[in-house]
Amino acid sequence: MDCSSDYLLVPQPLPKKCKDPELKTVGSGGPGEYLVLRENEITLDGSECDRAGVNYGAFSRQTHRCQNVAGTCLKNQPLQLWRDDKKAAEEGRSGQHFLNNFISVSDQTILQNVSSGQIVLRAPYYEHYQSHIIIELKADQIDIIADKSEGQITEVYIDATSNKVTIIKVVVTNMGIAVDYFGVDFANCTHPLGPSDFDKPSK
């Protein structure tokens, strides 16, 4: 299915005076039975035979048109394509034009804007997709929402010149953008340590 060139035919409500039971059935299966036609299967001005949308002008311009069999120039019309895919579905075969042959269909596949009348096709996309988003904010609207900041030990000084006490000085640098307090402690030491005095944690 090529969204840039294919056409999606959506059945329109029939007038109340229409008594044809088959026409009333067309589209009753929901969006899954809407028809997907390739660009070479449809004529927008009706000037080409055997394409959806053909009009009488295409028939009248045929060579030897009066000798042609009835129905000539009217192949591949939407109703016939619908019949073919409907039969294929009933026989458990894949069709060629029903929308459900191309995408996963749900009740939200076809949406219509109430005010503009524009009809939108929604379909899941499972391949890789990359998009670029540009966000502009005023500087005075930027607030820090993180309540913690990462710290990193950047310096360690050890003074073991005294026989009674060893002084270890550790410098912790705030690597984040928020104000925070950091402390240092010893853990999983191979030898027991006596009580330690720590300065007040610093910012």
Q: How far apart are CA 175 and CA 75, in angstroms?
A: 73
pLDDT of residue 197: 57
Q: Is the pLDDT of residue 20 over 80?
A: yes
Instruction: Quote the pTM value.
Output: 0.54
- The pLDDT of residue 182 is above 80: yes
pLDDT for residue 165: 80
Greater model confidence, 52 or 190: 52
pLDDT tens digits, 45-79: 888 888 888 888 777 787 777 777 777 788 888 88
- Token pair of 87 as six digits: 């039969």
Between 141 and 56, whose confidence is greater?
56
Beta bridge partners of 36: 8
- pLDDT band at residue 124, thresholds of 50, 70 and 90? confident
**Is 43 exposed, middle or buried, given 0-12, 13-18 or 19+ CB atoms closer than 10 A?**
middle
Q: Has residue 42 got a pLDDT over 80?
A: yes
Question: If pLDDT is split at 50, 70 and 90, which confidence band does 145 have?
Answer: low
160: pLDDT strictly greater than 80: yes
Counting beta carbons within 10 angstroms of the beta carbon of residue 30, is it exposed (0 to 12), middle (13 to 18) or buried (19 or more)?
Answer: middle
pLDDT for residue 155 is more than 80: yes
Who has greater pLDDT, 8 or 149? 8
What is the distance between the terminal CA atoms of the chain, rounded to a whole angstrom? 60
pLDDT in tens, 78-112: 889 999 999 998 988 988 999 888 888 877 777 88
Averaged pLDDT, 143-159? 80
What average pLDDT does this structure show over 165-178? 84
In angstroms, rounded to a whole number, what is the distance separating the alpha carbons of residues 58 and 77?
A: 14
pLDDT at residue 87, as a whole number: 92
